[in-house]
């Protein structure tokens, strides 16, 4: 066999081997991830291109992803608690110093709410217990006969926090406990001041009934006598019964009694705080009583009887009745004329009544 035929046969053998190797390589690549990728995308394998051009085959690239980011696309994935890196330049090119890394801190709304709640509770506890906001005694103005100690005793503050005080309730309690007060105004000034301004009633006479004395102001309102020294400085009216009802009130003889019908019961009470202020007279009646007291003889005792009205007991032994004190000037003139007539006749009166201007009468001692 010639040399040329042997060379051709050897070339054919090498070609068959190469073709068999190429088919085996293509079959293996078709089942590999890169082969599947090539089938899907329609792009030739990078390794095959490299082989075709005669270069070395590129190694496969493997991408690893977080399962959470792969499932949710990274939009709502949970962030890792990565650390922040800080590099500080040292002033020369390429020279840097790395500081210790700091962890990223994350707070939930639940934690923030708990912190806020704890802070509010701490502030409230401080305001409730701090001595700077506690009131031990009130500053009171307008007192005349009632003492500050009496008012503070009734308030019973006892280091109360200023934020718990109710000014309207304080005003109502003081008006209830002290019948001497006609008005009460309470105000709070921070940090710990309670201001109280009161207006006391001014007594102008004393009403005595059932062995009990009460004070009456110029408006006809009654209030309790706390100072016994006042009893000797004001005109006193000894009453044998309740005064007539005020205009607009029902008569004492009807089934429904007026507020003054229980006056004897109120006067007989022993506890000052239980006394209920009562409108006893109209202001005009109070002015007439004071005028009658000024015209009475020295030493005469003012009296009141439901059957005869107001009058006085003369220290010389006789009684004088003026009724409801209407037309008081006319009645006083009639009384003086009758008394002069009795004295001129040499008699001594036992009773003189000018209750009715057109029908006065008198009775002599036997």
Residues 319 and 192 placed together within one structural domain of the fold: no
The reply to whether 151 and 223 lie within a common domain is no
> What pLDDT is stored for residue 87 in this prediction?
74
Tokens of 159: 């280091």
Structure tokens at 245: 């009802």
Question: Which of 353, 354, 350 is closest to 363 using CA atoms?
Answer: 350
Same domain, 162 and 308: no
Q: What is the pLDDT of residue 129?
A: 83
List the alpha helices (DSSP H) in 130-196: 148-155, 167-177
232 & 335 share domain: yes
pLDDT at 260 (0 to 100):
42
Residue ending a domain, choose from 182, 200, 218: 200
Is 266 found in the same domain as 140?
A: no
Q: What is residue 236's predicted lDDT score, i.e. its pLDDT?
A: 93
- For 122-158, write each residue's pLDDT tens digit: 888 888 888 888 898 999 999 988 899 999 999 988 8
140 and 279 assigned to the same domain: no
Instruction: Provide the token pair at 78.
Output: 């949970």
Q: Could you tell me the two tokens for 120?
A: 């509010």
Structure tokens at 72: 């949710």
Domains: count for the chain: 2
In a domain, 219, yes or no: yes
CATH classification of the domain holding 172: 3.10.20.310
Query: Are 279 and 158 found together in one domain?
Result: no
d(CA 316, CA 226): 33
Distance CA 202, CA 213 (A): 15
User: What pLDDT does residue 270 have?
Assistant: 43
Q: In Å, what is the CA distance from 40 to each residue of 34, 35, 43, 50, 70?
A: 10, 9, 8, 20, 20
Question: Looking at residue 34, what is its pLDDT?
Answer: 54
Residue 342 covered by a domain: yes
The C-alpha angle 111, 116, 121, rounded to 5 degrees, equals 125
Same domain, 274 and 162: no
Both structure tokens of 250: 């029902």
Query: Domain ends where: 200, 229, 254?
Result: 200
Tell me the CATH number at 288: 3.40.50
Degrees, nearest 5: CA angle 84-89-90 = 135
* Token reading at 311: 């009058």
Q: Report d(CA 316, CA 334) in Å as an integer.
A: 19
Q: Look at residue 174 and tell me if it is in a domain.
A: yes
H/E run at residue 196: strand 193-200
148 shares its domain with 235? no
- 353 and 251 assigned to the same domain: yes
Residue span of the structural domain in which 154 resides:
132-200
Is 337 a member of any domain? Answer: yes
User: Reduced to 3 states, what is the DSSP secondary structure of residue 103?
Assistant: strand
Total residue count of the chain as it appears in this document: 366
**pLDDT value for 110:** 85
Query: What pLDDT was estimated at residue 337?
Result: 95
Residues of the chain with pLDDT under 50: 36-37, 46-54, 63, 68-79, 250-273
> CA 276 to CA 258: how far, in whole Å?
14
Q: Give the pLDDT confidence score for residue 85 in this predicted structure.
A: 66
Same domain, 305 and 332: yes
Q: Which of 165, 200, 235 is the last residue of a domain?
A: 200
**Are 356 and 214 in a shared domain?**
yes
Q: Tell me how far apart the alpha carbons of residues 13 and 7 are, in angstroms, rounded to a whole number.
A: 10
Residue with tokens 């990728």: 37
Supply the pLDDT for residue 257: 37
**Closest CA relative to residue 306, chosen from 265, 256, 355:** 355
């Amino acid at each position: 066999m010639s040399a040329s035929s042997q060379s051709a046969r050897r070339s054919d053998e090498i070609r068959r081997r190469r073709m068999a190797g190429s088919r085996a390589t293509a079959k293996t690549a078709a089942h590999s991830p890169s082969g599947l990728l090539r089938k899907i995308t329609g792009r030739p394998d990078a390794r095959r291109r490299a082989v075709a051009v005669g270069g070395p085959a590129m190694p496969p690239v493997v991408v690893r992803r977080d399962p959470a980011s792969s499932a949710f696309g990274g939009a709502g994935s949970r962030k890792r608690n990565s650390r922040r890196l800080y590099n500080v330049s040292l002033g020369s090119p390429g020279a840097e110093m790395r500081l210790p890394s700091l962890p990223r801190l994350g707070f939930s709304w639940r934690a923030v709410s708990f912190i806020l709640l704890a802070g509010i509770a701490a502030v409230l506890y401080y305001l409730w217990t701090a001595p700077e906001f506690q009131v031990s005694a009130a500053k009171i103005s307008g007192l005349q006969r009632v003492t500050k100690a009496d008012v503070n005793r009734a308030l019973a503050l006892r280091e109360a926090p200023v934020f718990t005080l109710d000014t309207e309730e304080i005003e109502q309690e003081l008006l209830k406990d002290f019948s001497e007060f006609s008005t009460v105004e309470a105000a709070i000034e921070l940090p710990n001041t309670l201001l109280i301004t009161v207006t006391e009633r001014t007594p102008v006479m004393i009403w005595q009934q059932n062995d009990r004395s009460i004070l009456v102001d110029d408006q006809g309102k009654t209030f309790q006598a706390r100072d016994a020294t006042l009893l000797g400085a004001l005109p006193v009216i000894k009453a044998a019964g309740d005064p007539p009802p005020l205009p607009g009130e029902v008569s004492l003889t009807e089934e429904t009694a007026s507020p003054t019908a229980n006056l004897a019961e109120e006067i007989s009470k022993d506890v000052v705080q239980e006394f209920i202020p009562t409108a006893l007279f109209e202001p005009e009646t109070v002015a007439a009583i004071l005028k009658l007291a000024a015209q009475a003889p020295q030493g005469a005792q003012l009296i009141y009887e439901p059957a005869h009205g107001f009058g006085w007991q003369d220290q010389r032994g006789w009684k004088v009745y003026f009724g409801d004190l209407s037309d008081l000037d006319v009645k006083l003139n009639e009384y003086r004329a009758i008394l002069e007539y009795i004295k001129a006749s040499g008699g001594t009166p036992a009773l003189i009544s000018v209750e009715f201007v057109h029908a006065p009468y008198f009775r002599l001692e036997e």
